[in-house]
Amino acid sequence: MSEKWDVPVMPYVDMTIGRTYTLSTYSTGSGIKAFALAFVGVSEGATDFTWAGLSPDPAPSHFKEEIDAFKKGGGVPVISFGGSKPIAPEYQIDDSAVLLKGYQAVIDGYAVDHINFDLEGEVSRSAVRQRNAVLVAGLLKKYPSLRVSYSLEVDKDNNGRFKLTDFGLKLLKDLHNAKVTPALVNALVEYIPWASAKEALEAVHGSVKDAFGLTDAEAWRHIGACPMYGKEGTFEWTLQDHKALRTFAEEKNLGCLSGWEAKRDAPDFAYGKIQAGYKPK
């Protein structure tokens, strides 16, 4: 079992595109002490772990000075692997030893004890699930105090109700079979309004509870929520939606409030300030 999730607020920061703020300035402006750093991956045909799958930005050397400074100021970096592009290491590499070695290099190089697997889009395949379950079991043997989180998509079932995708549901079973209980399942409730996000979170709660044999309270502590800050196309996650999510989190003792992403929230950090200071009981 992964260690208990202890990062109650964790927005994403896209580390490679258009940032004008450092992690430390994001933290100062928003009052948030932890971020999921997006995304480390592997480009097609390669085995080297890099930021956004870009060869000029190797992990674990690129951004190391910035990450170290953030940690020195009390920040908690959560290295996130994968994302919406097909660069998840388990998608590109089928050798379990090479995978394990690559992840160990990143964890050791940045000296982190929190990681996130953001598995979505094209990489949602059975081979990725199976490789990931084996990988995480191996990582937890080497790093017993490692806190492992997942960010997984939601979609509608045949009755039009939101839930984890079939890939996500099968991944939970694979992890259970590998004797792994993730510390957090972060539901990607992006591009849907609050009422649908609430429905999705309740469904994810039931799935996590059943998959790992948890109580109601334990299952809520294993769940996070990640909306898309602000307006994207015709969709908008409003500040009122975000306040409703915070209230729901306090009622249920949700394990984590996340969000995509800090750059979209700068410079005023209106969304971040709503979730800053949240902590489950």
* Contact between residue 101 and residue 60 where contact means Cβ atoms under 8 Å apart: no
- Residues 210-230: pLDDT tens digits? 999 999 999 999 999 999 999
Q: Which residues partner with 156 through β-bridges?
A: 162
* Contact between residue 186 and residue 153 where contact means Cβ atoms under 8 Å apart: no
Whether 4 is covered by a domain: the verdict is: no
Mean pLDDT on 6-22: 93
The total of structural domains in the chain comes to: 1
Matching residue, tokens 């009122």: 240
Whether 230 is covered by a domain: the verdict is: yes
Instruction: Give the C-alpha separation, 254 to 251, whole Å.
Output: 8
pLDDT for res 102? 98
* Contact between residue 278 and residue 246 where contact means Cβ atoms under 8 Å apart: yes
Whether 184 is covered by a domain: the verdict is: yes
SS3 170: helix
Residue 267, Cβ density class (10 Å: 0-12 exposed, 13-18 middle, ≥19 buried): exposed
Matching residue, tokens 């928003």: 30
- Measured over all CA atoms, what is the biggest interatomic distance in the chain, rounded to whole angstroms? 49
Question: Comparing C-alpha atoms, which of 163, 162, 160, 139 is closest to residue 149?
Answer: 139
- Cβ neighbour number for residue 19 with a 10 Å cutoff: 16
Does residue 71 have a pLDDT over 80? yes
Whether 224 is covered by a domain: the verdict is: yes
Mean pLDDT on 225-239: 96
Instruction: Give the C-alpha separation, 114 to 50, whole Å.
Output: 18
Q: Give the mean pLDDT of the chain.
A: 96
Range of the domain at 97: 9-275
User: Alpha carbon of 105 to those of 48, 98, 229, 270: distances in Å?
Assistant: 10, 11, 32, 36
As a dihedral over the C-alpha atoms of residue 122, residue 55, residue 147, residue 92, rounded to 10 degrees, the angle is 40
* Contact between residue 59 and residue 40 where contact means Cβ atoms under 8 Å apart: yes
Whether 2 is covered by a domain: the verdict is: no
Instruction: Give the C-alpha separation, 184 to 182, whole Å.
Output: 5
Residue 20 confidence class, pLDDT cut points 50, 70, 90: confident
Q: CATH code at 55?
A: 3.20.20.80
pLDDT for res 153? 98
| Poorest-pLDDT segment among 33-37, 52-56, 164-168, 192-196 | 52-56
Mean pLDDT on 30-42: 97
| pLDDT over 90, % of the chain | 95
Whether 194 is covered by a domain: the verdict is: yes
Rg of the chain on CA atoms, in Å? 17
Whether 3 is covered by a domain: the verdict is: no
* Contact between residue 139 and residue 131 where contact means Cβ atoms under 8 Å apart: no
Does residue 19 have a pLDDT over 90? no
Matching residue, tokens 């799935």: 207
pLDDT for res 3? 76
